[in-house]
Amino acid sequence: MIRILALAALLALAPFVHGRSADVAKVEAAFTPGDDISDLIAQRIARSRESVRMQAYLFTDRHIAGALYAAMRRGVKVEIVADAAQQQAGGLPLLEPLHRAGARVYLNTSHAASHNKIVIVDGTTVITGSYNFTQAAQSRNAENVVVISGNRAITGRFVDNFEYHRSQSSPWP
């Protein structure tokens, strides 16, 4: 019993390492079928104030694209890193119009598949999971996303990884 209490006390103090409080992440999960993941993503983009960074393997969801257009009209910087092979195969038809509207679009050829499916909003919220940004993912597939916010260390890792993949990609032709 003393070991359990000692462990509980240690876990309670764990966020206070070296005299400072660690960020506690807020984590949410959503699943298809059932949850409206497309709307969840669009709502998070609608809250953006500074930047939206997206990594996409497939992208055909017009609702999410509409949220990106609206964000750009508000002055939000939008950057997208996508799989070059999927672009050539027609799986990313929304990239060209987003690029024309002002999004910075990059195509990745550095990997067999640039398979990340991530949205980073203002460097503070990360949306990631199996969910491709497609109508099929919302209406026909079994998919998931996890939304992580409030933890600078975690979101920083995703931002750093985004920057790495962007540096390995070519700007839109």
| Catalytic annotation, residues | 115, 117, 122
Closest CA to 133 of 34, 48, 32: 32
Alpha helices, DSSP H, located in the chain: 2-13, 37-46, 62-73, 84-89, 95-101, 135-139, 152-167
Side chain identity at 120, as an amino acid letter?
I
Specify which residues 51 forms β-bridges with. 77
Q: How many whole angstroms separate alpha carbon 13 and alpha carbon 150? A: 19
Q: What angle do CA 76, 80, 81 make, to 5 degrees?
A: 155
Q: How far apart are CA 93 and CA 56, in angstroms?
A: 12
